[in-house]
Amino acid sequence: MSCTLGQSVYACWYMRPILVALLLVALGCATTKKYERVLQSWVGSTENQLIASWGVPTRTYENGGMKFLEYTRSSGMMMQANYNPYVGYQGQAHSKYCTTTFTVNNDRIISWSWQGNTCKSK
């Protein structure tokens, strides 16, 4: 079965995974940008202000005169499934996590970084 010009995209079963993937990519980019704006808003704030809002860091460490506050969230697994008409459903499990690190110098946040697949704004 193939899609014709007048046919609804939803009627084309093989187009669904592509549409879902494009939607997730578009949503992921927007979420990342929002999260980065939240992180950037903390630059210039004090360490105590951050801790009052975010809570006690998961981990702290010092290196080269800088202090690093690390926050890690994890929430189990997410499944990614694809349908192949020749072999059926195929899937993979991925850990869901977000690690955010703030760099502190002279009690002020000077930068941040994040890593993970669930980093999004609150």
Catalogue the E-assigned strands of the chain: 59-63, 66-84, 88-105, 108-116
* Pick among 1.20.58, 3.20.20, 1.10.3680, 3.30.1450: CATH of 11-116: 3.30.1450
Per-10-residue mean pLDDT of the chain, 122 residues long, equals 53 57 54 90 98 97 97 77 72 82 98 92 72
**pTM for this prediction:** 0.64
Give me the pLDDT at residue 61, please.
97
Residue 97: exposure state from Cβ atoms within 10 A (0-12, 13-18, ≥19): middle
Angstrom distance (rounded) from CA 107 to CA 79? 41
Domain boundaries, the chain: 11-116
Angstrom distance (rounded) from CA 44 to CA 21? 37
Give me the pLDDT at residue 42, please.
98
**DSSP H helix total and E strand total for the chain:** 2, 4
